Amino acid sequence: MRQMFEKIYSAGEARLLSSLLLEEYTGLGRARQLAAANESVADNKLEEIIKAAERVSMGEPWQYVIGYTTFCDKKIIVNPAVLIPRPETEELTSIIIAENTGFAGIVIDYCTGSGCIAVSLASALPQADIHATDISYEALSVAKENAALNNVTVQFHHSDIMLDNILADTKAGIIVSNPPYVREKEKAVMGRNVIAFEPHGALFVPDNDPLRFYKRLAALGTSTLIAGGRIYLEINEELGEETASLFPDEIFRDVSLLRDLFGRIRFIKAIRR
């Protein structure tokens, strides 16, 4: 199996993926895998492992193959209708949780996708009223499954934020979003596992208007956030200053560009005056 994966992954990644799939289908952790190296696998399990390995060796993300990933210690169902949550999105969610302990107001998660942010916030901020929107009915179906799976309450809404504001009458204390922000020209440096399998509508924006969602989110922050309300956004690391400029001083204060664990500018935070 490892040899199959090494055609498209590094040796270390291939080893990790092999161990992960074995654990998923046999229940054996890495230590037990090493101890049981010479033991046979039941025929039905072996068939499942082979099929999964073939899919991964063709570049399909392993999260889609097994049907879920982990995000903020939550099991999150994923399939090709939604993006696979990234570590930086988990970082952003952790920042929101840390800065808003005990929050009891309204939270809106625009472009929710799998619902990973909304579900995690609903779990960590149980007194909050969590709303989440997405343009994709398929994504909302996955997000609803994730809310049910993790036993949290989130109110989901179908909405194209570029055309409407289904929550126009809602006054939020927190807005969060991880909208599409990858420029079309960046496809050239992205892996096939992303380009071939993940939903392009949730990833890419036109090269000539890369901040289109952030312009809209700044407007939604202006109209929807209460005084003192906070907006948190994941952003394109190469467009930090341009994104920050969309949040004018007369409307927002403490506009901050935040770095991820690798030192890259990946988030913006602002407070409504």
Report how far residue 120's alpha carbon sits from residue 176's, in angstroms, rounded to the nearest whole number: 12
Least confident of 28-32, 77-81, 113-117: 28-32
Residue with tokens 């879920």: 68
pLDDT given for residue 39 in this prediction = 66
Report how far residue 249's alpha carbon sits from residue 143's, in angstroms, rounded to the nearest whole number: 35
Q: Answer whether 33's CB lies under 8 Å from 23's CB.
A: yes
Q: Which CATH class is domain 69-272?
A: alpha beta
User: Residue 47: which residues within 8 A CB-CB, separation 6 or more?
Assistant: none
User: Percent of the chain having pLDDT more than 70?
Assistant: 97
**What percent of the residues of the chain are helix, what percent strand, and what percent coil, each to the nearest 5?**
40, 20, 35
Q: Answer whether 235's CB lies under 8 Å from 220's CB.
A: no
Q: Taking the CA atoms of 261, 262, 267 and 269 in sequence, report the sign of the dihedral they define.
A: positive
Domains of the chain: which residue ranges? 2-58, 69-272
CA-to-CA separations, 99 to 141, 174, 176, in angstroms, rounded: 29, 11, 13
User: Percent of the chain having pLDDT more than 90?
Assistant: 87
User: Residue 249: which residues within 8 A CB-CB, separation 6 or more?
Assistant: 255
Please determine, for residue 186, whether its predicted confidence score (pLDDT) is greater than 80: yes
Please determine, for residue 14, whether its predicted confidence score (pLDDT) is greater than 90: yes
What's the mean per-residue pLDDT of the chain?
A: 95
Least confident of 5-14, 114-123, 153-162, 175-184: 5-14
How do residues 126-173 score in pLDDT, each as one tens digit? 999 999 999 999 999 999 999 999 999 999 999 999 999 899 999 999
pLDDT given for residue 1 in this prediction = 80
The DSSP code sequence of 21-80 is HHHHHH---HHHHHHTTT----HHHHHHHHHHHHHHHTT--HHHHHTEEEETTEEEE--T
End-to-end Cα, the chain, rounded Å: 56
Across the range 236-242, mean pLDDT stands at 98
pLDDT given for residue 172 in this prediction = 98
Half-sphere exposure of 15 (CA within 13 A, CB side): 5
Please determine, for residue 28, whether its predicted confidence score (pLDDT) is greater than 90: no
H helices present in the chain, as ranges: 2-5, 11-26, 30-35, 43-57, 62-66, 87-99, 116-124, 137-149, 192-195, 212-224, 240-244
- Helices and strands in the chain: count of H runs, count of E runs: 11, 11
Split at pLDDT 50, 70, 90, the class of 34 is low
Please determine, for residue 193, whether its predicted confidence score (pLDDT) is greater than 70: yes
CA 156 to chain centre: 16
Across the range 17-43, mean pLDDT stands at 79
Which stretch, 14-23, 39-48, 92-101, has highest mean pLDDT? Answer: 92-101
Across the range 14-26, mean pLDDT stands at 91
Specify the pTM.
0.95
Report how far residue 178's alpha carbon sits from residue 235's, in angstroms, rounded to the nearest whole number: 7
Report how far residue 100's alpha carbon sits from residue 232's, in angstroms, rounded to the nearest whole number: 12
Split at pLDDT 50, 70, 90, the class of 40 is low
